C-alpha cells in the first residue's frame, strides 16, 4: 500500500506514526521542530488521512505497511515514534523487524490488549465509532450541526474537536468522513489487540535499541500494572510521565514532550 506522507528537514531518518482517528496533520508542529535535526517522515496509516482505504485494519497489515514504506523510501533504519494505535504499529514492527529500528518511542499506549484489561477504552471507542457511523450527512449543512449531533453521545469537547478534523467536503459540496470509519468500526477488536506477552518470556524480549514510553499523567492508557508487561517485552525501556497531560500528550504539552524525546535521543 502506498501511504501518504509528509517529509520535513534533513538528517537521520525519523518516522512519526499517528493514532486512531489521527493523521500526519496532527503532528506537523512536532515534526517541524524535530526536522531541525532529523529527516522527519509523517505518515498517514491506512484508512486514515490521505492514505488509501481498505476493508481490513490490523497490526499485521499496519506493520507491513510501515516496512513497505521504509523500503520504498530506501530507509534502512529509523527512529520511530508511534502514538496510541501508531505506538502499537511500532511495537508490532519492532517485534518482527528490530534491525530496522534505531530508537523506539511509544506514546501513551502499552503493548497489552485493551479488549479485556482496559475495557473502558474499548467501550469508549465503540461509542465514538457508533456515533460517527450514525451521522446522516445529507442533513448536515455545517460543522456546528455535526458537533451538536456528536455531543449527544460524546460530551468531551476536545474529543469532538479532534474527530471533526476528519471532515471533508465532497465534490457535491456535502460533508463526509475522511477516515474509513466503517472498516475501523468493524475492525475495532483488532485495533484493541496487543502483543502476545507469553511470546516474550524466557529471555525472548526485544533488545538492541533504546526504547522510551511516554505516558500522560492524566491518561489511563498505561496503568501501573501494564509496566510489568512493558518491562518483559522491552526490559531496558524507560518510562517517562508528562504532567498535566492526557492521552494526546504531544498536543497538550508539546514543549515537555519534545524535551523528553530530545533528552532520550541525545543522552
Q: Per residue in 24-82, pLDDT tens?
A: 999 999 999 999 999 999 999 999 999 999 999 999 999 999 999 999 999 999 999 99
Selection from 108, 141, 140, 119 nearest residue 251 by Cα: 108
Which residues carry out catalysis?
Answer: 84, 247
pLDDT given for residue 209 in this prediction: 96
Q: Is 37 helix (H, G, I), strand (E, B) or coil?
A: coil
* Cβ neighbours of residue 197 closer than 8 Å, sequence gap 6 or more: 111, 112, 229, 232, 233
Architecture of domain 5-113+194-266: 3-Layer(aba) Sandwich (3.40)
pLDDT tens profile 11-35 = 999 999 999 999 999 999 999 999 9
Domain with CATH 3.40.50.1820 in the chain: 5-113+194-266
Using 50, 70 and 90 to split pLDDT, how confident is the model at 116?
Answer: low
185 and 150 Cβ atoms separated by less than 8 Å: no
pLDDT tens profile 216-257 = 999 999 988 899 999 999 999 999 999 999 999 999 999 999
* Cβ neighbours of residue 32 closer than 8 Å, sequence gap 6 or more: 8, 9, 40
pLDDT tens profile 164-219 = 999 998 888 889 999 999 999 999 999 999 998 888 876 678 989 999 999 999 99
Amino acid at each position: 500500500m502506498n501511504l501518504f506522507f509528509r517529509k520535513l528537514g534533513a538528517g537521520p531518518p525519523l518516522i512519526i506514526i499517528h493514532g486512531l482517528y489521527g493523521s500526519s496533520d496532527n503532528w506537523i508542529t512536532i515534526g517541524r521542530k524535530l526536522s531541525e535535526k532529523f529527516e522527519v517522515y509523517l505518515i498517514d496509516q491506512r484508512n486514515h488521512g490521505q492514505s488509501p482505504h481498505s476493508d481490513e485494519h490490523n497490526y499485521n497489515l499496519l506493520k507491513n505497511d510501515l516496512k513497505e514504506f521504509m523500503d520504498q523510501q530506501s530507509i534502512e533504519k529509523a527512529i520511530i515514534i508511534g502514538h496510541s494505535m501508531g505506538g502499537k504499529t511500532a511495537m508490532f514492527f519492532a517485534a518482527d523487524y528490530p534491525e530496522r529500528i534505531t530508537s523506539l518511542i511509544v506514546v501513551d499506549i502499552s503493548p497489552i490488549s485493551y479488549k479485556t484489561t482496559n475495557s473502558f477504552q474499548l467501550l469508549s471507542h465503540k461509542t465514538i465509532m457508533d456515533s460517527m457511523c450514525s451521522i446522516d450527512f445529507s442533513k448536515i449543512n455545517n460543522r456546528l450541526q455535526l458537533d451538536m449531533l456528536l455531543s449527544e453521545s460524546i460530551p468531551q469537547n476536545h474529543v469532538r474537536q479532534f474527530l471533526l478534523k476528519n471532515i471533508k467536503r465532497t465534490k457535491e459540496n456535502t460533508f463526509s468522513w475522511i477516515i474509513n470509519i466503517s472498516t475501523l468500526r468493524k475492525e475495532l477488536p483488532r485495533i484493541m489487540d496487543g502483543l502476545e506477552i507469553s511470546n516474550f518470556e524466557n529471555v525472548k524480549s526485544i533488545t538492541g535499541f533504546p526504547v522510551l514510553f511516554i505516558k500522560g499523567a492524566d491518561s489511563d492508557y498505561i496503568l501501573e500494572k501494564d509496566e510489568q508487561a512493558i518491562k518483559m517485552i522491552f526490559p531496558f525501556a524507560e518510562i517517562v510521565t508528562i504532567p498535566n497531560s492526557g492521552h494526546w500528550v504531544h498536543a497538550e504539552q508539546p514543549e515537555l514532550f519534545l524535551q523528553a524525546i530530545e533528552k532520550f535521543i541525545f543522552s
